Chain A
Amino acid sequence: MPALTDLIEAGRPVEQHAPWRRAVVAPKIWNLAVEQLAAGHWSLLGLWAEPDTVHMALLDAVRDIGVISLKCAGGRYPSVGQRHPPALRLERAAADLFGLLPQGLPDTRRWLDHGQWGVSHPLAAGALAAEASAAPAHAPAMASYRFLPAEGESLHQIPVGPVHAGIIEPGHFRFTASGEIVVRLEERLGYVHKGIEGLMAGSPVERAAKLAGRTSGDSTVAYSLAFARAVEAALGVEVPLRAVWLRALMAELERLANHLGDIGAICNDAAFVLMHAHCGVLRERVLRASDAAFGHRLMRDRIVPGGVASDLSEEGTAAVRSVVTEIRQRFPHLVELYDNTASLQDRTVATGRLKPALVRQYAAGGYVGRASGREFDARRSPGYPPYDELAFDVPLLQEGDVNARVWIRIREVEQSLSLTEQILQRLPGGPIRVDVAGASVAQTGVTKTGGPCEGMALVEGFRGDILAWLRIGEGGMIECCHLRDPSWFQWPLLEAAIEGNIVADFPLCNKSFNCSYSGHDL
């Protein structure tokens, strides 16, 4: 079995790419990597494109990370999804945006492009772009979508969305059911595609940072952090220590708020409103403490390339301490209530079971992965400061049902409380931001060797690992940027988890995953 590093050395390494390496490889090497993925030795961390290149971020058996890139001669490249299904939707998305054709891809339907943009392949360059702008917009009939068939006696279909019944993001679910039993669920996403990659290209770093922070509203801290770390890696900027710790504090507050909200919401979908009400109170307290500490309830635009935008005052510290104390008092009672309520357990235990093998294949992160035996947490591996100096456990379960996903979140709430306390205890003093625009590379836009610089980051959001990759070119402008939400590898698993369950349990399964629509659609 080759190591990722062998493949990278076999290719043409890119000079300025940090902190992990990237190499432009030949099709043979590309296919060798696909073999490793298909055999289950490696994990896919992301697949994205540029007008004439396709990139793949990989994690190998010894947890080494790297990127391999393939020049697409004639706009074509050998499909990864053909042999490794987790790449399928990513390849469809890249085909929509850049017009790159994955050879052998078994599913060539459009994914993000619903035929509404008035342009094909909006991010393509050269001849393809000229052709795209000359091409008339798709006729509405072209936008009709061919759902995968499910045939059999007495099967019926239930179409749901894109506008759902609750206060929830838009997407379409096509259920095929036999009586009450779901035999197939097919998702259709892309409704909230905003063209973030297109907007980032050619933008100054500050504007791109704002866009990154609006990729998925509930993970605004995690996205800002991922983007900032990628910029800092590219420019070789060192962030002041206090900022590093404040960033972690924000990330843990965000995780707390989301987990608390979701634990309650899952119970609410099992008609147990009491938990929802109590968890909602704790979530609101966290949001108010975050507001007191950082001046915004969701802490949007508080993490910026170079550090953080606002410092923590004494009142802010007191607010965070007080919310931790309150959750420590109240949360154990709620956990007990969850654990001892038969009507609730009846709905969550053994519901929406997700097999560990699938989770491994898709390299699913977050509570979806950890509830099905995949122990991966970007805070620990590859890890980033200050987590290497903090004590915390990564909870792990094997059952893979709704109940297991709830328990992982419960345990993570406890871990985040402990992390928050540790951070407050050890928070160093000093400055909170350095000037990124002043970094020598940024001023000229080129490195010493004369090329643009590239950076990458893997950050643990509340849903799982978020990948950010970018290139900074002349004048310190973002040349291209790709953000990969954890949901890319979780949405397909929801389709698998619901199979054989009753339609009425879909909200429970769905909420226990809580995949992002906006983060996925970009």
Chain B
Amino acid sequence: MRKHLFEGLTRLPLTERPPKASQTAIDELARGLDGAARKRLGRSLSIRAVDAGSCNGCELEMHALNNAFYDVERFGIRFVASPRHADVLLVTGPVTKNMREALKWTYDATPNPKWVVALGDCGRNGGCFAGSYAVVGGVSEVLPVDLHIPGCPPSPIEILKGLLALLERVNAKTAAPRG
């Protein structure tokens, strides 16, 4: 335990930091995301993840956003436990019929202004589950979706890119967000 704490004092952080010379994708994204989030929402963007029938692949990559490499909290982006604390619903899955109602309730419990992001190929149109008796076939069949982030599952970098796109769009909007 003590050893780990001491090591922590001397070792360089793992987070891929906003850049100096090297222009990797994540560095650019990190800068963009940081600026956009602050402009629109002060220092925080709270995300409530809702699994509406995914295979759990998207959730794994969402979890990865919290690891030391991506560390999304440094941008003020965090995953919250209740829809009542959320700005964004990040919804995955082809929306199973058994989850449709719970998804609607979660949306209704989220205060305005709010945005919905459909994550993964299933969230767009049901993906390979489209046509099943048990799925609705895409998040937009149930909720107004502001953004789709494709991928099966999208990598953490793709999710970050998507969130950045959302923030930029939100910033660009002059009208009041949809209620």
Q: Measuring CB to CB, which residues of chain A are less than 8 angstroms from any residue of chain B?
A: 114, 116-119, 122, 162-163, 165-170, 190-196, 198-199, 207, 210-211, 214-218, 220, 261, 274, 277-278, 280-281, 283-284, 287, 297-298, 300, 333, 337, 340-341, 516-518
Contacts and interface: CB of A to CB of B under 8 A. Distances in A.
Nearest to A214: B55
Nearest to B55: A217
Given A167-B79, A277-B68, A298-B153, A192 B53 contact: yes
Contacts of A217: 54-60, 153
B172 interface: no
A198 B82 CA distance: 34
Contacts of A199: 128-129, 131-132
B171 interface: no
Query: What does DSSP make chain A's interface, helix, strand, loop or mixed?
Result: loop
Interface string B13-50: 01000000000000000000000000000000000011
27 contacts: A117-B133, A166-B49, A166-B79, A169-B59, A191-B96, A191-B99, A192-B51, A192-B53, A192-B54, A192-B93, A194-B134, A198-B132, A199-B129, A199-B131, A199-B132, A211-B128, A214-B128, A217-B59, A220-B55, A220-B57, A281-B14, A281-B68, A284-B64, A298-B57, A337-B4, A517-B56, A518-B53
A469 B106 CA distance: 37
Contacts of B79: 166-167
B142 interface: no
Contacts of B83: 163
B1 A194 contact: no
B3 interface: yes
A105 to B, nearest CB: 22
Contact of A284 (B69, B93, B129, B131): B69
Contacts of B153: 217, 298
Question: Of residues A167, A192, A281, A284, which shows the largest number of chain B Cβ atoms within 10 Å of its Cβ?
Answer: A167
Nearest to B81: A165
A118 B68 contact: no
A191 B102 contact: yes
Contacts of B105: 163
Contacts of A170: 51-53, 99, 102
Nearest to B103: A163
A341 B96 CA distance: 42
Contacts of A218: 56-57, 60
A165 B85 CA distance: 11
A516 B66 CA distance: 21
Contacts of B69: 281, 284
Which 9 pairs across A and B sit closest by C-beta, in order of nearness?
Answer: A217-B57, A195-B134, A195-B132, A165-B81, A280-B67, A217-B56, A217-B55, A116-B97, A167-B49
With most chain B CB atoms within 10 A of its CB, the pick from A207, A261, A277, A337 is: A277
B136 to A, nearest CB: 10
In the complex, which of the residues B58, B79, B81, B152 has the most CB atoms of chain A within 10 Å of its own CB atom?
B152
A194 B96 contact: yes
A117 to B, nearest CB: 5
A300 B63 CA distance: 18
A194 B63 contact: no
- Sorting the interface of chain B by its residue count into under 10, 10 to 19, 20 to 34 or 35 or more gives 35 or more
A297 B134 contact: no
A172 B55 CA distance: 17
Nearest to B58: A217
A284 B67 contact: yes
A195 B56 contact: no
Contacts of B128: 199, 207, 210-211, 214
Interface in B142-158: 152-153, 155
A352 B151 CA distance: 37
B135 A169 contact: no
B100 A167 contact: no
Contacts of B134: 117, 122, 193-195, 198
Contacts of B152: 214, 300
B138 interface: no
A166 B81 contact: yes
B68 A192 contact: no
B152 to A, nearest CB: 6
A518 B3 contact: no
Given A194-B53, A195-B132, A165 B102 contact: no
A192 B131 contact: no
Nearest to B66: A280
B112 interface: no
Contacts of B68: 277, 280-281, 284
A354 to B, nearest CB: 23
B153 to A, nearest CB: 7
A163 B50 contact: yes
B57 A162 contact: no
Given A167-B63, A217-B153, A333-B4, A194 B135 contact: yes
Contacts of B93: 192
A329 to B, nearest CB: 12
A437 to B, nearest CB: 19
Contacts of A196: 129, 132
A219 to B, nearest CB: 9
Contacts of A333: 3-4
A227 B106 CA distance: 36
A281 B67 contact: yes
B108 to A, nearest CB: 12
B133 A116 contact: no
Contacts of B67: 277, 280-281, 283-284
